[in-house]
Amino acid sequence: MILSEPFKLLIMEPVELSRNLNETIQQTSRQTTNNYEIDKTNVLVIGGAGYVGSVLTRKLLSKGYAVRVLDKLIYGNGSSVNNLVEEKLFSFIYGDFGNEEVLERALENVTDVVLLAALVGDPICKKYPEQARKVNIEYPIKLIEKINGRRMSKFIFTSTCSNYGLRKDDTPATEESELNPQSLYAETKIATEKYILENLNRFDFSPTILRLSTAFGVSGRMRFDLTISEFTKELAMGKDLIVYDENTWRPYCNVKDISDAIIRVLESPEQKVFGQVFNVGSNNNNYTKKMILDLIQKHVSQARIEYKKGGFDPRNYRVSFDKLKKVLDFEPGVAAEESIVQIAKAIENNLFSDVEERKNLYGNYEISDER
């Protein structure tokens, strides 16, 4: 398509953005004046500087998409995308997607929207419950109403397999299985899912819900507060590890595979994805905590692990990903063990030497701006 106006770099005055990132972005904004033509989708990735988003953004750019990132950088994670500001097809807006003025600017010339931004995880939602309800329910609903009527192509809402919560047995949960949330995080995701599914007949765009497995793998905004990365880091650093309820199940998926699944939805015919819910992950990456630790111990010597019962997290669920493969012909390719080896080597070679000093950069613990 030929854009009527440049899909250009739009920058709000940053509030707490780091000085270097701010100066770089503003300088690039002044220099970026060329119009261009593109026959691919112009994607707005809300939360595009995050753990999944910084990987997705690069993958989209590598495929020739124009990508605009809207992100509030609540974990001080601007460095995850600051080396992209000179990319011709990349633009960045600092701000809150709950702010109507910011959102209006971000949506200019956009054809598709991927919503990754959220307070992600049980601990952060429990710590900031009011903010969690705003960011995970109120803001997404306002966003949906904002894009409805613009005749955009696709809207992708990233939810979570945590919605299945506590299963009665080990049979894998399908997209039709009962939801049994065990946390505020899952409750907020289910609430937004419900809103989308109950209003399908009103939308002039194609919405898709992706229930993501617990993510793992290396990213520009690395997280070490997720099971595989956390366990690998602790043991690779020679620390003692206490693990509760080691026989509980979880599904896992690499951030690269999650990003590829999102792109597959963007590139799929509308009739395959309109109003659909897909579990995102691999049947081969359903693991208990004990099974993950067994994989890690194959590559980390002298691991010291203590197992205990009665942890605070009661979740226990396996998940089926058959629908993703059958409908979209998509199956993740990165095995958990492959990523474990890479993370362990990175830790041993001091690539994350500041992980202890900059804890909040590497995990969803505290938000830098609670507005």
Express each pLDDT in 215-228 by its tens digit. Answer: 999 999 999 999 99
Name which of 122, 53, 15 is nearest 262 in CA terms.
Answer: 53
Q: Outline where DSSP puts E strands in 137-255.
A: 154-160, 206-212, 214-216, 240-244, 249-254
pLDDT tens digits, one per residue of 205-218: 999 999 999 999 99
pLDDT surpasses 90 at 152: yes
Distance, CA of 185 to CA of 192 (rounded, Å): 11
Q: What is the mean pLDDT of the chain?
A: 89
Q: Which two tokens stand for residue 302?
A: 């002298």
Q: How far apart are CA 303 and CA 42, in angstroms?
A: 47
Cα-to-chain-centroid distance, residue 184 = 18
Asked if 235 and 241 touch (Cβ cutoff 8 Å), the reply is yes
Predicted pLDDT of residue 13 = 38
Q: pLDDT for 15-69, tens place per residue?
A: 334 334 444 443 443 333 232 234 557 999 999 999 999 999 999 999 999 999 9
pLDDT of residue 187: 98
Look up the pTM and report it: 0.89
Helix (H/G/I), strand (E/B), else coil: 353 = coil
Q: How distant is the alpha carbon of residue 299 from its chain centre?
A: 27
* In contact, 139 and 131? CB cutoff 8 Å: no
Dihedrals φ, ψ of 11, to 5°?
-125, 125
CA dist 219 and 221 (Å) reads 5
Tokens of 295: 């994989």
Neighbours of 2 (CB within 10 A): 8
The two structure tokens encoding residue 19: 């000085």
Q: What pLDDT, on a 0 to 100 scale, did the predictor assign at position 29?
A: 36
pLDDT at 294: 96
pLDDT reading at 190 higher than 70: yes
Strand partners, 210: 158, 278
pLDDT at 159 over 60: yes
CA atoms within 13 A on the CB side of 135: 27
